[in-house]
Amino acid sequence: MSVAIACPREQVFEYLADIANHAEFTDHYLVDWHLTRENSYGLGAGARFRLKGPGNRFHWGDVTVVEFERPARIAEDGRGGKFNRIRSHGEYRLSPRDDDGTDVEFTLATEPANLADRIMESLGARMFIKRQNAKALRRLRAILEKDERRGRRATLAGR
């Protein structure tokens, strides 16, 4: 999924590079964000959050920035589900537009660990996450273009 944002690529990259900002545009389905380290910017930055979703019994998940290529790409690896056994890989790719804007493409791949996880994913979890991520990209555009602040930034656990 992708979205066109009327902001320079460097500005979009700087916003996405700080994982504490991700809570602002994903808080419609990812809540209770907590940073996993004090520095929320760049390689190694991470966060833990709770997924709001229908029929979801195992709510908690986490992500860590594992690849950081300024100003074009940010990749995150994560885990979620029961016993954190479902691996995930998310990637933001930023491409410049002719009108000085930016195309932001987000892809998410998951690796269900066993048959039960694959069944849950096929029963609607995959489509739910896809719809929520599309909405998150639209909210990201609204925040960067119109300076709409909808959610709260993530904080360190215990603060």
Structure tokens at 31: 């809540």
Q: Which CATH number covers residue 6?
A: 3.30.530.20
Residue 13: pLDDT above 80? yes
Q: Which structural domain, as residue segments, surrounds residue 118?
A: 2-156
Give the pLDDT band (50/70/90) at residue 140: very high
Tell me what pLDDT residue 116 has: 76
Tell me what pLDDT residue 128 has: 86
Q: What percent of the chain has pLDDT over 70?
A: 89
Give the pLDDT band (50/70/90) at residue 82: confident
Cβ contact 79:86 at 8 Å:
yes
Query: What is the pTM (predicted TM-score) of this model?
Result: 0.88
Number of domains in the chain: 1
| Rounded Cα–Cα distance for residues 54 and 46 (Å) | 25
Of the ranges 17-21, 80-84, 105-109, which one carries the lowest mean pLDDT score?
80-84
Cβ contact 74:17 at 8 Å:
yes
Taking only the tens place, the pLDDT of each residue in 40-79 is 999 999 999 998 876 666 688 999 999 999 999 999 999 9
Cβ contact 63:46 at 8 Å:
yes
Taking only the tens place, the pLDDT of each residue in 93-117 is 999 999 999 999 999 998 888 887 7
